[in-house]
Structure 1
């Protein structure tokens, strides 16, 4: 069976990690081979780059520098994790991919689309996810969720509200023009959001995940 590459996206606090974990649990219970990964990260080199990008708020990195660092991480992530899993006909569940770069560094930071496209093509070798699932929540909802979980915000999460509004706008605008990007309401209870995701997967990939109601 052909591998399936699913990417969860959205603004900060959208609930991506929780929903990835829930879907992974369902796949495990149904015997569907899969790998959960994240960006930046997924390999030793990529995790080291993640630390520079997110864990060092004192560092000044402009949008182009971020594009280059995220793309370097993506290069090894694709080569060492994503392509091998897809080559085995399995499912990849990734917390972010190149859409994040187009939104955060392109739409919100103003890096020209042609710059991002050129660097991304070199990083991914043209690999495109089968589907981007974007969980959309108002900025203040995402902020409240992050604060409720505690912990220090990372370098990106420290950005001002106006930046986060541009991020949300970017996702919505790009989704409007690309069939491979699906926007889902990320508000409500985790069960409600999960039900929307399962319905979307059954619509886009009939039978691939053994139906929307495969049991835990």
Structure 2
């Protein structure tokens, strides 16, 4: 796991250049809350930005989201999930993400292709090369400037899920062994990709927010410093 201080290099953060920041992590890691808090910080600075999520963001993508997550009676293997997520991602990139980046906005996204590499690859066993080829076609090669992976032990994520009282979607209902493979996959990929920074997601929302704030200020000083 990445130590508390940010370790990656500061990015070229010149004016007018859009920034694409993705929040990732296992179930119950607190992604949505930290995106909301970072969005508030950008609003206070008067910085143009977009918040979005995967699967979702467009009408077609939201319809696909319902099929993937809200239909537990459907049997979908890892390859079927890969293709559905990628179809959603294609529309998301073309209609929401790429136009925002071309305007120079900051894009804060809840999950992107790293989730596919972890959930469908590490956890479900879809070959990495299959994922790479399908994802490249879906995104046109677009990658985030930074992945912020909020890391929490599986038991912490499960406890948070039970506490929030919300219905569990199809993937959230997976067995604990699946969730352990997901967490291990994030840590494994983070160890060899400088775009991925792990942040300890255990602690109060304020504590995690401070860690995230330190990380993005280091990477993008003109936007968050």
Task: Using structure 2 for the length normalisation, give the TM-score.
Answer: 0.93
Task: Tell me the CA shift for residue 207 of structure 1.
Answer: 2.3
Match of residue 22 from structure 2: 7
Match of residue 214 from structure 1: none
Q: For the residues of structure 1 that align with 2:94 and 2:60, how far apart are their CA atoms?
A: 12
Match of residue 212 from structure 2: 197
Match of residue 75 from structure 1: 90
Quick one: which of 112, 118, 129 aligns to 1:103?
A: 118
Match of residue 187 from structure 1: 202
- How do residues 46-85 of structure 1 correspond to structure 2 at under 5 angstroms? 46-85=61-100
Structure 1 position 132 matched with structure 2 position 147: yes
Q: For the residues of structure 2 that align with 1:117 and 1:207, how far apart are their CA atoms?
A: 32
Runs of at least 5 residues in structure 2 that lack an aligned partner in the other structure: 1-15
Match of residue 53 from structure 2: 38
Match of residue 130 from structure 2: 115
Match of residue 7 from structure 2: none
Deviation string, structure 1 residues 151-202 (Cα, Å, up to 9, x no partner)? 2100000000000000000000000000000001000000000000000011
Deviation string, structure 1 residues 59-96 (Cα, Å, up to 9, x no partner)? 10000000000000000000000000000000000000
Task: Tell me the CA shift for residue 208 of structure 1.
Answer: 2.1
Q: For the residues of structure 2 that align with 1:136 and 1:169, how far apart are their CA atoms?
A: 10
Match of residue 175 from structure 1: 190
Q: For the residues of structure 1 that align with 2:182 and 2:98, how far apart are their CA atoms?
A: 28
- Bigger drift between 84-93 and 199-208 goes to 199-208
Deviation string, structure 1 residues 3-52 (Cα, Å, up to 9, x no partner)? 00000000000000000001101111110000000000000000000000
Number of residues of Structure 1 aligned to a counterpart in Structure 2: 210
Task: Using structure 1 for the length normalisation, give the TM-score.
Answer: 0.96
Aligned residue for 2:191, secondary structure, equals helix
Two-structure CA RMSD over aligned residues (Å): 0.5
Deviation string, structure 1 residues 120-156 (Cα, Å, up to 9, x no partner)? 0000000000000000000010011111111210000
Task: Tell me the CA shift for residue 206 of structure 1.
Answer: 1.8
Structure 1 position 28 matched with structure 2 position 43: yes
Aligned residue for 1:182, secondary structure, equals strand
Q: For the residues of structure 2 that align with 1:208 and 1:30, how far apart are their CA atoms?
A: 9
Q: For the residues of structure 2 that align with 1:56 and 1:38, how far apart are their CA atoms?
A: 19
Match of residue 156 from structure 2: 141
Match of residue 103 from structure 2: 88
Q: For the residues of structure 2 that align with 1:74 and 1:50, how far apart are their CA atoms?
A: 10
Runs of at least 5 residues in structure 1 that lack an aligned partner in the other structure: 212-216
